[in-house]
């Protein structure tokens, strides 16, 4: 029994360290995205008359505000110390997810506004299909989590039974969002104005993927050895 408790503690520490790696990847990805959009693509402005500056709002918001924030919300149970009230962890998880959802919807709006300004058709690429699917599923997942785990009406047994499916679905949607980001970056890499820009886009995509893997790994370690 003591050996099991020691092993569980060891893996809990490992999960926490993987979570810290995810935070570092978060910051690195955020900086790389800013360098790309500000240095190579002329800036970010939803009110601009330049369609490209309008478009730049989309990758900025979807990376910083959707993918990265979703990951941080998932990590809330590992990031916030366990001695803090569980309800505080749950509130942080829910609110960060809500901010991510709102920003994700705004990012989709920015993409549609760009298409209008550039007179381009909507929802024609695999990237757009994956992205819309991820946003829609994430919205449903958030509503399910809010009703089941936050509102007082749900029975304790119901919450316990729903928790594994909620975690699994959350990670699946998160990785779907990561896949959507990869397809979007592939499109922009192919149209890059220079080799340096292309390499920067590719590196950014790698860090987004690594961030997704780190978040999923931290959750898997925490769940497997509780």
Query: How far is 98 from 96, CA to CA, in rounded Å?
Result: 5
Predicted pLDDT at 12: 67
- The DSSP code for 20 is H
Residues 77, 75: Cα–Cα separation, whole Å: 5
Which tokens in the block code for residue 28? 């690195």
Q: What pLDDT does residue 10 have?
A: 56
Q: What are the structure tokens assigned to 78, written together?
A: 């590992």
The size of the chain, in residues, is 226
Please name the residues in contact with 86: beta carbons below 8 A apart, sequence gap of 6 or more: none
- The residue with tokens 């149970």 is 77
| Global pTM value | 0.89
Sequence-ordered alpha helix ranges (H) in 36-125: 51-60, 68-74, 76-79, 86-118
pLDDT the model gives residue 83: 65
Residue 30: count other Cβ atoms within 10 Å of its Cβ: 17
Residue 150: predicted pLDDT: 87
CATH no., domain 29-73+83-206:
1.20.120.1770
Q: Can you give the pLDDT at residue 66?
A: 93
What pLDDT sits at residue 145?
A: 93
**Three-state DSSP class for residue 45:** coil
Compute how many other C-beta atoms are within 10 angstroms of the C-beta atom of residue 73.
Answer: 24
For the chain, what is the radius of gyration of the CA atoms? 19
Q: How far is residue 121 from each of residues 19, 62, 125, 145, measured CA to CA in Å?
A: 40, 20, 10, 34
- Among 187, 174, 183, 182, which residue's Cα sits nearest to residue 213? 174
Q: How many helices (H) and strands (E) does the chain have?
A: 8, 0
pLDDT score of 4: 44
Q: What is the pLDDT of residue 1?
A: 41
* Cβ atoms 60, 185 nearer than 8 A: no
Domain range summary for the chain, segments of one domain joined by +: 29-73+83-206
CA 40 to chain centre: 24
Q: CA-to-CA distance for 205 and 183, rounded, in angstroms?
A: 9
What is the full per-residue pLDDT of the chain (226 aa) written as tens digits?
434 444 455 556 777 889 899 999 999 999 999 999 999 999 999 999 999 999 999 999 999 889 999 999 999 887 776 667 778 888 999 999 999 999 999 999 999 999 999 999 999 999 999 999 999 999 999 999 999 988 887 778 888 889 999 999 999 999 999 999 999 999 999 999 999 999 999 999 999 999 999 999 998 887 755 5
Q: What is the pLDDT of residue 80?
A: 75
Cα 185 to Cα 66: distance, rounded to the nearest angstrom: 15
Quick one: pLDDT at residue 3?
41
């Amino acid at each position: 029994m003591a050996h099991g408790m020691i092993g569980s503690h060891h893996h809990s520490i490992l999960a926490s360290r993987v979570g810290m790696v995810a935070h570092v990847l978060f910051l690195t990805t955020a900086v790389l995205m800013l360098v790309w959009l500000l240095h190579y693509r002329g800036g970010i402005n939803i009110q601009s008359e330049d369609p490209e500056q309008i478009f730049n709002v989309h990758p900025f918001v979807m990376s910083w505000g959707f993918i990265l924030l979703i990951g941080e919300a998932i990590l809330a149970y590992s990031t916030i110390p366990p001695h803090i009230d569980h309800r505080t962890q749950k509130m942080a998880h829910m609110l960060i997810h809500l901010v991510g959802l709102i920003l994700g919807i705004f990012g989709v709006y920015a993409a549609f506004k760009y298409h209008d300004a550039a007179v381009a058709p909507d929802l024609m690429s695999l990237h757009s299909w994956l992205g819309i699917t991820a946003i829609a599923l994430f919205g449903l997942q958030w509503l399910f989590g809010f009703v089941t785990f936050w509102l007082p009406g749900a029975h304790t047994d119901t919450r316990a039974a729903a928790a594994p499916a909620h975690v699994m679905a959350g990670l699946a949607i998160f990785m779907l969002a990561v896949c959507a980001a990869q397809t979007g970056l592939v499109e922009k890499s192919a149209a890059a104005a220079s080799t340096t820009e292309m390499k920067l886009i590719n590196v950014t995509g790698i860090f987004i993927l690594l961030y997704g893997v780190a978040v999923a790994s931290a959750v898997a370690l925490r769940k497997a050895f509780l």
